[in-house]
Structure formats: structure tokens, C-alpha cells
Structure 1
Amino acid sequence: MRFPFFHRILALSALCGVFGGTLPTKRQQPTVCNGHAELCSRPYGNITFLGSHDSYAFSTDPLIVSRDQEVDIVSQLDLGVRMLQAEGHLNDDGVLHFCHTSTRVLIYLVWIDLLVFFYYSIGCLLFDGGTVEAYLTTVKTWLDANPDEVLTFLFTNGDGLSISETWAPAFVAAGIDTVSYIPPINPMTRSDWPTLGDLISADTRVITFMDAGADGTDGPPVDYILPEFTMLWEPPFDSTDASFPCSVNRTSGPLTNEQHLNLLNHNLDVSVLGILLPNLADAATTNGVASIIADSNGCTAFTGGLAANFVLLDWVDIGEGPQAVDQLNGFSS
């Protein structure tokens, strides 16, 4: 078969692309990763990251007692937060939102079990953080402007919603799926993870964990939305003890505790008439270097002596969270 001249030119161009190295390639290895040159060669599983608990629930209004943060998502990221935790639910409009389902504020108003149940059934009543798609779009814009940063999501799927039908479309609409890491094996041990430099050069800079449904129990799984507890264990949450006694509270799967990643639920609550509220008054102490490092050290019996991977805080703009994480990573502040 004879090819027209123009088609032959295209064919030669394609061959030159294959043999001449003009096909798309990975980025060059970055020189600074998540703010430190030393982290580029360090595996993701051997790094401590600062996390924001209920990251969407930000407000400066002291009357909103269900808030857990005072600064918005972009400000949190600019402060050094590299894990964003959030809880998703379908709102009355049938769209996936980030919001609380805690009844702690409602109980202040009416102490009746029936109304508590009613609150649980109608979605985002007290603190609506907006749609998941809008939240992820905000994060994607920040990631595009900060190409040498690796970010982790930790999302709660309390309603057992379909990952493929309800969660994944928000990731796709925001473009987060295009920069998400897909592990070659599942589960990944703590030592299996690539370096930050490799994640950045491949532009797979987002790792997403989901607490329920990502293992396929609530419909088809999505390869970049990872089951949390088979790879990441948690200690107890809603602690009212400022010493944060450590134990393995939530985990699953075949890996040992030492093979899992782990986080610190280092967000202190205070009990008011039996209702647990975020303890803003003691945030400076809770988020201090001494308290965070003591909490991490208290969990080393379950991590093989390694520092925690994630430090999840309320009020990330208060205290010394970034300095504590730097110290856990071996850097002087």
C-alpha cells in the first residue's frame, strides 16, 4: 500500500518520537519537596505530615461551637497542613457535601432522642462546609500553584455512600483524579510507599484514604480512593485526656500495626454537660511541641519506634503544629 506524502511525514514523526525521545516524560526530580530538600529522597511512609481535623468546618464566629478550625482551606495549606480530613454526607439537595453529623449543638437546644434521630436523618443541618466538588476544586487550584507538594486526604463516608457513583464524580469534576496516586499493590506496607520526589515527578501528588466503602463493600472500588484501615491505623478520637493515651483503636486487614501508617487524633475535647466540644481554650497547649511529640512517642510501641505519619489537629493556626512536625521529621525549628 502506498501512503500519501503527508501521511508518510506523520509516520516518520511518530517513529522519531518513539526512538528520538520526544514522547512525554516525567518531570525532573524536584529539589525541594513539601518545603524540605531532604524529604525528596524520603519515602512517604517515613514522613510526618501536619493534618487538619474537620478541615471544612472553619469559622471565626465563637457562637458556632461545631467549628473545629478558624482559617479556610487555602490558609490551612499555606500554614503547612498536608493532610485534610473531612466528613461527607448527602445534603437535602442530593449533592455530596462536607458537614458534621454530630448532635452536640442540637442537644443544647432540645434533649429529646427523637429530635436527635431526626437531625441524623436530614443531613447537613448545623455546619455545611459546601459541596465536595467545590472543596476539591479549591484544593486542586492550590496544588496547581504549588507543584512540589504532596497532599493526603482522609475522608469519612459515614453513610456508606457508593465510592464510584457518589464520591468519584466529585474527584473527576475537580481534576483531582488526574493527580492521584494509584498504588501498585493493595494494601501497601509502610515501607512500600515511593519517595516524595517520585510522587512529585510523576505528578501523582494526592493520596486519598476513605474510612468505609473503598474496599468495594459499598459498590465498585475506585483505584485512587484507598481503604483507610487496611493501611492506616488510628488511636481513639474525641479524647478529653490531655495526655492522649495511645492504643490501636481502628485497624483492619492483614498488615501488622508496624506495617500500617498511623496518625495521631491529637484534637482535645472538653465535656460540657456530657456533650463533647472542641477545646479551643487549651488549643495553644494541645498544639504545642511538647504535647504533640509526647503523643507521638506514646504510640511508638505500635509503630516499631517510628514517629507518627500524621498529626491531626483542631485549630491548626494556633500553637506549634508545623514546628512539632518538623522536629518529628528530624528538622530543627
Structure 2
Amino acid sequence: MRVASFLLTAVALVASVHGAIVPSKRATVCNGHAELCNRSYGNVTFLGAHDSFAFSDDPLALARDQEVDIPSQLGLGVRLLQAQAHVNDGVLHFCHTSCLLFDGGTVEDYLNKVHDFLTANPNEVLTLLFTNPEGASLPDLWDPPFQASGIADLAYVPPSIPVKQSDWPTLGELIDSGKRVIVFLDAGADTDRSVPYILPEFEMVWETPFSVTDPTFPCSVDRISGPLGTTDHMYMINHSLNKNVFDSGIIVSDPLDAPTTNSVSSIVANAAGCEQFAAGRAPNFVLLDFVNIGHGLDAVNQLNGLA
């Protein structure tokens, strides 16, 4: 018995020492760059696709804001997908203003495509930023497609809300934990915390104005919520240019000017104009229309100090 006890103790000690000296596997490349692994999520700039679901290669489809589909957007380096949801026959769809105008399909189908990308790319951190203009129920309408697609299993839940810009985990930590999807909702998650991985956007992220028609993109803090101060928020620049059709008040995206709008010089200038509101920091998210046009990823790499 003493021999057996001694052997068991020895095995336990060896296992303990072995566990102490063998490090767990850690991500060495994060979102395509080793330099980003030790950088806080709150201190990284990500390329975003505005109305990511609203894609069409038909130039007469005035409600489109993208030309290429979700897998193509992700392949171009987009790491924030933005979309607007509406209830259509009791099911949550991504639609542009109205599902009669542009119906991008169900949220579940969309998230299945996102999950396919994440499965094939295990070292990528992705942000989903969705709008909820009809106040759709989080537990009844939002949570089910996240659960069915498997995205809920990958979603990060902070220890407390709100999270200061400086307090987010690093990209490497998010990847190593398996919780590498950050989900923000513009309305509803601030008052309903029943789905903990769906985070209230404006408590942690402020935005510049949207539907911009001025190509100089003057910066201001347009939407924000407390209790954190402005500089403790992350922030997103809505860098998409629009046209007022025949001065009618109808605003549509402007693909003809997209090569200039999505140029490095235009994006970097917009970011520089916003640094005064963010203690000199670059934006966390650069939201573009027509991400396949111009050099959005080059601009984001420059803002991340990678170019």
C-alpha cells in the first residue's frame, strides 16, 4: 500500500511539474498580424462593412451599400459586419429600412455564413454590430439565430458592463479563450441584459454622424451613452459618402465616388479629425460602403501602425 501511495504521489508531482513547464497553446498571429496578438481589442482599428447584407452588383439597385457578398467582404479584410434588422413574418431578417426595399434574408442564414468563416479562420477576432430599430426581443428573436448558427458559443461576455476602452482583453486572449466574437446592438441591450453576450453599443462605442454628404467628413460625437466618458469609449467613424437625390431628401450611397472616399488619404484624414475626441487615439472601427473599392484595408493597417 505504501509503495502504491508513493507511486501515485510521484505521478501527481510529475504531472504537476509537467503542467507547469508546458505552456498552453497560444495564438501567434491574430487577425493576420503577430503584432496585434498582444494589443487590446480596444486599441485596434478594424475595417467595417456598412449594411453588409445589402450587396448587389446591379448599379440600379439604389438600396445596396455593398457590391460583394459576406464571404467576399471577410476575404477583403472586413472584421466588423454591420447590419440592420427587421421582423418579417415573425422572423428576424436583415433589411435596408424596410424588407420591401431590400431583404437580405434571415439573420440565421447570415450568421451561418459568418460561422463558416470563423471555423475556417480560427485566429480571427470579429465584431458584429447590428441595429434594432423595431425593438425586437433579445431572448425571443435575437438569441435563437445566434444559438442555431453557433455564433453564441463564440461570443465574448465581459465580466461587467460597460467595459472601458482600455480594459478589453487582447486579441490573443480572445482567440485563446475561444470567445472571439464581440456582438454589439444599438438598442435594447441597454435595458434587457437577458442575453449577456449581446452588448449595448453606445455605452462602449460612440459614432460619428451617418448619412454624410460632405466629402470632408467633419468629425463630431453623434451618438453616445453613459456612464463612461467619451475618451473611455471606443469609437467608429461612419466613413461612407451619400448623395441627396435631386435635393429630395432621399439619401443613397455613392459608388461613383467610392474610390476617393475609400482612399487611404480620405480615411486617415477623417480619423485624424476625430482624435481630438479620443485622447489622440485612432478609431476602433472604420465603416465603409463598397468595401471592394478603394484601399480601406491599407488605411486600417496604417492606423494600426502596420503599414
* Equivalent residue in structure 2 for 1:174, among 149, 155, 173: 149
What is the deviation of 1:253? 1.1
Query: Helix, strand or coil: the match of 1:50?
Result: strand
TM-score by length of 2: 0.92
Could you tell me which amino acid in structure 2 is paired with residue 233 of structure 1?
W
Matched, 1:98 2:73: no
The match for 1:62 is 59
The match for 2:242 is 269
Matched, 1:51 2:26: no
* Equivalent residue in structure 1 for 2:286, among 311, 316, 325: 311
1:81-160 pair list within 5 angstroms: 81-91=78-88, 93-101=89-97, 123-160=98-135
Matched, 1:281 2:281: no
What is the deviation of 1:27? 6.2
What is the deviation of 1:221? 3.0
1:173-212 pair list within 5 angstroms: 173-212=148-187
Which string of whole-angstrom CA distances, capped at 9 and with x for unpartnered residues, describes residues 8-41 of structure 1? Answer: xxxx9xx98xx7699xxx9621110000000000
Could you tell me which amino acid in structure 2 is paired with residue 140 of structure 1?
H
The answer as to whether partners of 1:233 and 1:263 remain within 8 angstroms in 2 is yes
Query: Helix, strand or coil: the match of 1:191?
Result: helix
Query: Helix, strand or coil: the match of 2:128?
Result: strand
Rounded Cα–Cα distance in structure 1 between residues aligned with 2:93 and 2:41: 29
Rounded Cα–Cα distance in structure 2 between residues aligned with 1:157 and 1:129: 15
Could you tell me which amino acid in structure 1 is paired with residue 114 of structure 2?
V
Rounded Cα–Cα distance in structure 2 between residues aligned with 1:259 and 1:150: 21
Rounded Cα–Cα distance in structure 1 between residues aligned with 2:156 and 2:173: 11
What is the deviation of 1:126? 1.6
Could you tell me which amino acid in structure 2 is paired with residue 97 of structure 1?
H
Could you tell me which amino acid in structure 2 is paired with residue 145 of structure 1?
A
The match for 2:137 is 162
Q: How many residues align?
A: 291
Q: List gaps (5 residues or longer) in structure 1.
A: 1-11, 102-122
What is the deviation of 1:292? 0.2
The answer as to whether partners of 1:214 and 1:227 remain within 8 angstroms in 2 is yes
What is the deviation of 1:220? 4.9
Could you tell me which amino acid in structure 2 is paired with residue 272 of structure 1?
V
Q: List gaps (5 residues or longer) in structure 2.
A: 1-7
Matched, 1:241 2:238: no
Q: Which runs of 4+ in 1 moved over 3 A?
A: 19-22
* Equivalent residue in structure 1 for 2:75, among 73, 78, 94: 78
Query: Helix, strand or coil: the match of 1:126?
Result: strand
Query: Helix, strand or coil: the match of 1:300?
Result: helix
Could you tell me which amino acid in structure 2 is paired with residue 62 of structure 1?
P
The answer as to whether partners of 1:215 and 1:221 remain within 8 angstroms in 2 is no
Identity of aligned residues (%): 59
Could you tell me which amino acid in structure 1 is paired with residue 231 of structure 2?
E
What is the deviation of 1:164? 1.3
Which string of whole-angstrom CA distances, capped at 9 and with x for unpartnered residues, describes residues 67-91 of structure 1? Answer: 0000000000010000000000101
Matched, 1:40 2:13: no
Query: Helix, strand or coil: the match of 2:299?
Result: helix
What is the deviation of 1:94? 1.3
Could you tell me which amino acid in structure 2 is paired with residue 264 of structure 1?
I
Rounded Cα–Cα distance in structure 2 between residues aligned with 1:28 and 1:186: 29
Could you tell me which amino acid in structure 2 is paired with residue 153 of structure 1?
L
The match for 2:205 is 232
Rounded Cα–Cα distance in structure 2 between residues aligned with 1:272 and 1:159: 26
Rounded Cα–Cα distance in structure 1 between residues aligned with 2:129 and 2:42: 15
The answer as to whether partners of 1:27 and 1:201 remain within 8 angstroms in 2 is no
